[in-house]
Structure 1
Amino acid sequence: MATGLENFWYAVEHSQTLQTEPISLRLLNQRYVLFRDKSGTAHALIDSCAHRGASLGKGWVEGNCIRCPYHGWSYNSEGRCVRIPADAEGTTIPAKAQVGVLPTQERNGFIWIFPGESNQADPNLIPPFPEFDQPGWRTVQGEYRWDANFSRVVEAGLDTSHAPFVHRPFFPNRDDASVHPLEITTTDFSVSTHQQVKPPKRLGLLKYIIKKDRKHSSSTLTCYLPCINRIAIDFNWRGYQYIYFASNIPVSETETLTKWIGIRNFLPQAWADKNSIKNTVETYEEDKAIVETQPRTPSWVTQGADLLLASDQLILAYRKALAKICQQQESC
């Protein structure tokens, strides 16, 4: 993996998914394990037993500890081995019988871990999602995989000009695909823009509750570095909004796992969830078919391979921001 990516918070699992069993995962080509202690608090460790390297994720949780499935070594939430069944009672446990611990937070429907230097793991740097779990919003979630570098996936969510060509059922207006000049907002950890767009044609259940002859909808596209997409759509009708919040997890340089949450403040009934999920998955499949044809290398280190235009301003801002922060961390 490209260096410089370690010192970020990564949303690696949905909170609802982590229950009584441990979960193994890969991030930046490294293996980690999540588990909850008896109080329900989430923890993350390096997923490799200090004994002989077996995956702790194949083991089980016992009280506040996770047990290795190979020889039953028991590790507490601080990564220290506290029991070795093969040793006689009273035998001193070696100081090296421990595994690495990652800073862990549970917020906004996700488990977040920080694989870099723990003294830089400021929880205030976790991307905000203020609408999550608030009254009046209905939540759905899911995941999908890409044979692509995570940066290419993120850029699909920042692309302001591809919709009429990739998502034709929603935006069948190829003859009117021009992009108005964008105002880009850049911070140390994010890039964003707001734009007005013609209302989509494919509305699904929305066609029954939204005025069809609206002049426009609007969307705010944001990336929280390095891999969080937030797409906030305002349908310009009665305050109806849909927000897509996705963690595009860099499993390896050529694999990405997206864990996403979608929330809406209309049609709050459970029976409408199926349509909401269907629309999101179909959009993913349309993007996947194209994104996986792109180079499987990190986009921000591409030198001269892409010809970026004015309509690509947000993507260019993302690449510059990510390249800058990676270079800064590499030089530390």
Structure 2
Amino acid sequence: MLVTQHPVFRRFWYPVMPIADLTDGPKPFTLLGEPLVLWLTEEGKPAALRDRCCHRSAKLSMGIVQNGCVRCPYHGWAYNESGSCTKVPQLDSGAAIPKTYQVEAFQCAERYGYVWVCLADDPLLPLPEIPEADAPGNRLIPQFYEPWQCSGLRVMENSFDNAHFSIVHAESFGVTEQPKPVKSELVPLELGLKAYATVPVVNPPLQQQLLNIPDSLTVREVESTWYVPFSRTLKITYPNGLLHLIFTAATPVGDRTSQIVQFCIRNDSEADAKAADIIAFDRQVVKEDKVVLESTDYDTPVDVSCEQHMPSDQPGIVMRRQLAALIKAHGPVQEEGRILTEV
């Protein structure tokens, strides 16, 4: 499955960049092969346009923000958040700017400290709602923002895969003596999936400190939610009541590359556990996953007959079938400017 060839993937919201990155001017980002320019308007809201001036195709992301508009670095044409040209320095004062002086604009919003973009006017799902992010006393900790050379579907399947813990995560939390995965209760959604499990884990010294649990072996109560196509939450509750919720998105830059956005939400304080230490432990876990996932084929099949499976792969099978149905239901495959009639 090559995401840039299926128009349906343009109909979802993706986190593309920390909003703090836009405070010093416009920035580029490529989403599903679409070059974007992102900036903040005078009201401090994020905006997204195609990163090409309609005059001579210069990259708008190389320009500056002036009066809430992004100004082209070539001839100084300026564009507002709707993509309309608001200033052409070369025209006489008071002259009307042709309506054709326009750059394509995309839906753009801020949530959880990140800029989100949808490339279509009619998204199939709203922005994810994470109630724990707004709960009094909880804190949100930004963790990772980096490109991985793998598909978003591989990242999502890995997030629901209980069978790799004892192998991939043997150095962090996996119980090597117990390679057999625990069973998950799966609840397929119309567009998405929930999974519930009780997972035994090893707690190294740093993790014991972060969890305020003196035991080297304990259990996690896990509630995982998949948001189609490439976002998930992993809600972990420990026996002492500590909440550690991880949000991860594998935003598709293109067919081979995913921008990994991850933050966590906890119901403790900095005095209880330092954010830097929490990030360090989760970073170790993420690096263990990254090494393996970047070795996989980026063209991940949604046809379940293309790869072999075992019982614990059921969450991934649900994902593949949902994505295959979406692709079939929402239009033909697009390849290099041509429309193909078969999926």
Distance 1:16 1:272, change over 3 A: same
Q: Distance in 1 between matches of 2:273 and 2:310?
A: 43
- 1:252, CA displacement in angstroms? 0.5
The question of whether the paired residues in 1 share the 8 Å contact of 2:172 and 2:284 is answered with no
Q: Name the structure 1 match of 2:191.
A: 189
Q: Name the structure 2 match of 1:55.
A: 59
Q: How does 1:78-93 map to 2 (within 5 A)?
A: 78-93=82-97
* Aligned match for 1:260, one of 259, 262, 267: 262
- 1:205, CA displacement in angstroms? 4.7
The question of whether the paired residues in 1 share the 8 Å contact of 2:203 and 2:216 is answered with no
- 1:148, CA displacement in angstroms? 0.9
Q: How does 1:116-135 map to 2 (within 5 A)?
A: 116=120, 118=121, 120-121=122-123, 125-135=126-136
Q: Distance in 2 between matches of 1:101 and 1:94?
A: 17
SS in 2 for 1:131: helix
Q: Name the structure 2 match of 1:216.
A: 219
- 1:181, CA displacement in angstroms? 3.4
Q: Under a length normalisation based on structure 2, what TM-score does the superposition of the two structures give?
A: 0.89
* Aligned match for 1:24, one of 16, 24, 28: 28
Q: Distance in 1 between matches of 2:50 and 2:178?
A: 51
The number of aligned residues is 327
- Please, which runs of 5 or more residues in structure 2 have no aligned partner? 334-343
Q: Name the structure 2 match of 1:313.
A: 314
SS in 2 for 1:132: helix
CA distances 1:145-170 after superposition (whole Å, capped 9, x unpaired): 21111211222212111111001123
Identity between Structure 1 and Structure 2 (%): 26
* Aligned match for 1:67, one of 54, 62, 71: 71
- 1:157 is aligned to 2:156: no
Q: Name the structure 2 match of 1:103.
A: 107
Bigger mean CA deviation after superposition, 11-20 or 145-154: 11-20
Q: Distance in 2 between matches of 1:290 and 1:315?
A: 17
Q: How does 1:10-21 map to 2 (within 5 A)?
A: 10-21=14-25
CA distances 1:26-72 after superposition (whole Å, capped 9, x unpaired): 10011111111111122111111101111111111111211011111
The question of whether the paired residues in 2 share the 8 Å contact of 1:136 and 1:268 is answered with no
- 1:174, CA displacement in angstroms? 2.7
- Please, which runs of 5 or more residues in structure 1 have no aligned partner? none
Q: Distance in 1 between matches of 2:181 and 2:217?
A: 19
SS in 1 for 2:10: coil
* Aligned match for 1:8, one of 9, 12, 15: 12
The question of whether the paired residues in 1 share the 8 Å contact of 2:162 and 2:182 is answered with no
- 1:175, CA displacement in angstroms? 3.1
Bigger mean CA deviation after superposition, 133-142 or 8-17: 133-142
Bigger mean CA deviation after superposition, 246-255 or 85-94: 85-94
Q: Under a length normalisation based on structure 1, what TM-score does the superposition of the two structures give?
A: 0.91
Q: Distance in 2 between matches of 1:288 and 1:206?
A: 24
CA distances 1:183-234 after superposition (whole Å, capped 9, x unpaired): 2111122112010011323251533721417752211222101110211111
